[in-house]
Amino acid sequence: MKVNNKTLFVTVISIKLLAILLISCQYLDKGNIVENDSQTTENKSIINDEITERKIDSVLSLMTIDEKIGQLVQYSGKWDATGPSSSVSDQYKNDKLKNGEVGAMLNVSSVASVRETQRIVMENSRLKIPLLFGYDVIHGYKTIFPIPLGESASWDLDIMQQSAVISAKEASASGINWVFAPMIDVSRDARWGRIMEGSGEDTYLTTVIGVAKIKGLQGNDLSNSNTVAACAKHFAGYGFAESGRDYNTINIGEFELHNTILPPFKAAANAGVATFMNAFNDIDGIPSTGHKYLQRDLLKGEWNWPGFVVSDWGSIGELIAHGYASDLKQASEIALNAGSDMDMQSYAYEASLKELVKEDNVALSLVDDAVRRVLRVKFHLGLFDDPYKYCNEEREQNDIYNQAHLNVARDVAKKSIVLLKNNNQLLPLSKSLSSVAVIGPLANDKNTPLGNWRAKGEYNSAVSLLEGVKQAVSKNTKVYYEKGVALTIPTIKPGENQFSTPIEFNTNDTSGIRKAVEVAKKAEVVLLAIGEDAYQTGEGRSQVDIGFKGLQLELLEAIKKVNKNIVIVLMNGRPMDIRSASEMVPSILECWHLGSQSGNAIADVIFGDYNPSGKLPVSFPHHVGQEPLYYNQKNTGRPYGLKQVTYSAYRDAPRFALYPFGYGLSYTTFKYDNLTLNTSEIKVNGELEVSVNVTNVGDREGEEVVQLYIRDLVGSLVRPIRELKGFKKMMLKPGETKTVTFLINSETLQFYSVNKKWEVEPGDFDVWVGGSSKAELKERFSVINE
């Protein structure tokens, strides 16, 4: 038989691919993955193990330059992959899939669609390298949990990890194997719309929550089909957008970058997060997508992180709009050289990288490194072993939006509620009260509690406040309801694009206020549900006014004239300017956008089935003019002098928060005393124990978040007036006292110093322990040289 060169080449390729598949089948099960001894993470997520690296080498050696570039391409798949192509664009994407020139898809989110899209690749492409399928699973997939900012108010790492486990389970049951979460941007400006998507203003809290989320999403073994690859975003500085305007410039110094913004990302890398996403913003003139120091030198170099970096949507192409690249080709050159591995929806790499490699403007070794990183994630997910492992129709039927998941959603939601004010112990209410009026534009809203980024959460599927109250009270309690005023005109409807549908607020129609006042007159207590629509916060939803929009304050003022017993049920996605409302009412519950079980969770707290334990992860201002506002400010050279003009403050508002970071009340009272240090002096590498007694002096069982803060009094850089360095959440029975102990060591005390390294500097430190960032119990200790 005559054998030509083409036949011989195909035969060699087939043999090599067979060898790869045999290796995969033999070694890919989790029991045979060899971990690198130097890897400090406890899981098997993304590591440089020898077996996987050999498999990557084998695949890489077979790939053409077009196939390599294809692995760095991600398309959005908002079309019916199970049906015919509906446009030229769709046909183009299908052709690329068949050629094996696509590495990942996003927005393909059902078993049928994922299976069909994967089939196109596996049955048509030469090397049959499976696809990644990504999706924005930010606070739940179909079972919706509180928005991340709200969930962070629980200060409960176990419950946050559990909600991430469920999110991963539901997403993976629908074919998804990669989610674009958690967002670990520290954000201090309430005007920024995406503050709802993070964990607030504090670096330490954001860090530990981010790690908990990554553990929940990825589990201990990424090849488990119930887990997904996580994505730490946005690298870096996105939450410091100037003036709180989304996508805006970041003006921040090198030391603040390292001390405030980067620690959560370093912890994510150490935790084995599979992927990073870069940010839209520039930092001091360098867009993050093209930031070589951040992506290649620090993340992949100094931190030795082996995963891959994906651009944010179109951010490589946006280097042109930044004025950092003249065209798509130059943008590709900058981004790839800087360490941005995968191009999400810019169509840049596929158009330019091949030519850039030929011209030696991009080294082939850097392309290979990017491809290697993408393949590494696919191998660890087990996709080479079974490309259809996430395509299980039975799981899609049973593992999504079930009662067990809804029960957890309710638990998370009630733990996320923060009691901001409770004069005269108005709360909790008796379930047997004679009457209650549920009033407000959000009182019977079943959509707003789902919040922004609700993935596959169904429109109007949340339990409303009104429904929760009706289910909680006795059959003899009269429940009145009136909307009072509409918040928006019109609201966003099913199928509408939240990014293109404008929000128009009701500023004229007061016709419902009269009816609301009438029911308020008849009720013992008024529950007034006001705040923000679900789409007032989120991406592209920055605001200069963070107060109550529309006619909500007018409604409150009218009700207050006839009934003083008002509980504001605040539903929102950001810290709001609620000063005037706070002065008018005895009780305020911060309820955020709590997700699928919102109304039931709020009722649990209102009627005392659950004693609120939430603490604020962000500061609430007296006025928007204070923003950006955060508790761990620096002292300045003129910090004092309340009776003087020339000090660092405002003449028309307080300097600090209305409701500060870490603050939250309970239906009981906790007393702190006997703050003790086991030594007053330690060496640079030493440690000391801090202990405090916490007593429940009330008559109701309750949980308290005990918080530890420190201050480095003199440093080579000006240090914050106090910084959170630990917390413990615990339950106390009435009259019970527990001793809480914290360990302070070099990890607690180090910072990125003027020497441009992490170190502990000798000197004096103050330490506080209490129930908020305003903790008063204080001791002092010293650190001395070895």
Does the pLDDT at position 37 exceed 50?
Answer: no
What DSSP designation does 786 have?
Answer: -
Chain region(s) in the chain for CATH 3.40.50.1700: 405-619
What DSSP designation does 463 have?
Answer: P
Q: How confident is the model at residue 498 (pLDDT cuts 50, 70, 90)?
A: low
pLDDT for residue 348: 98
Chain region(s) in the chain for CATH 3.20.20.300: 5-129+226-389
Q: Average pLDDT, stretch 181-198?
A: 98
Report the topology of domain 405-619: Rossmann fold (3.40.50)
If one looks up domain 5-129+226-389 in CATH, what number appears?
Answer: 3.20.20.300
Kindly tell me the burial class for residue 305, based on how many C-beta atoms sit within 10 Å of its own C-beta (0-12, 13-18, 19 or more). Answer: buried
Q: Ramachandran region of residue 609, left (φ > 0), alpha (ψ -120 to 50) or beta?
A: alpha
> Could you tell me the CA-to-CA distances from 204 to 192, 198, 407, 623, 735 in Å, in that order?
20, 13, 29, 26, 31
The pLDDT tens digits for 132-182 are 999 999 999 999 999 999 999 999 999 999 999 999 999 999 999 999 999
If one looks up domain 670-784 in CATH, what number appears?
Answer: 2.60.40.10
Does the pLDDT at position 432 exceed 60?
Answer: yes
Does the pLDDT at position 89 exceed 80?
Answer: no
pLDDT for residue 83: 52
| Lowest-pLDDT range of 10-19, 116-125, 268-277, 584-593 | 10-19
Active-site residue, selected from the candidate residues 49, 90, 312, 712: 312
Does the pLDDT at position 580 exceed 70?
Answer: yes
- Verify whether residue 368 is a known catalytic residue: no
0.85 cut: is pTM over it? yes
The pLDDT tens digits for 218-256 are 999 999 999 999 999 999 999 999 999 999 999 999 999
Report the mean per-residue pLDDT for the chain.
92
| Lowest-pLDDT range of 113-122, 297-306, 483-492, 551-560 | 483-492
DSSP string, 52-93: HHHHHHHHHHH--HHHHHHTTEEEE--S-TTS---SHHHHHH
Chain region(s) in the chain for CATH 2.60.40.10: 670-784
pLDDT for residue 369: 98
Length of the chain equals: 786
Q: How far apart are CA 278 and CA 289, in angstroms?
A: 6
Percentage, residues of the chain above pLDDT 90: 87
| Lowest-pLDDT range of 412-426, 482-496, 574-588 | 482-496
Q: How confident is the model at residue 651 (pLDDT cuts 50, 70, 90)?
A: confident
Which two structure tokens, joined as six digits, stand for 196?
A: 């709802």
Does the pLDDT at position 642 exceed 90?
Answer: no
Q: How confident is the model at residue 2 (pLDDT cuts 50, 70, 90)?
A: very low
Q: Average pLDDT, stretch 361-379?
A: 98
Q: Average pLDDT, stretch 101-110?
A: 96
Strands annotated E in 453-518: 478-482
Q: Residue 182: is the preceding peptide bond cis (ω within 30°)?
A: yes
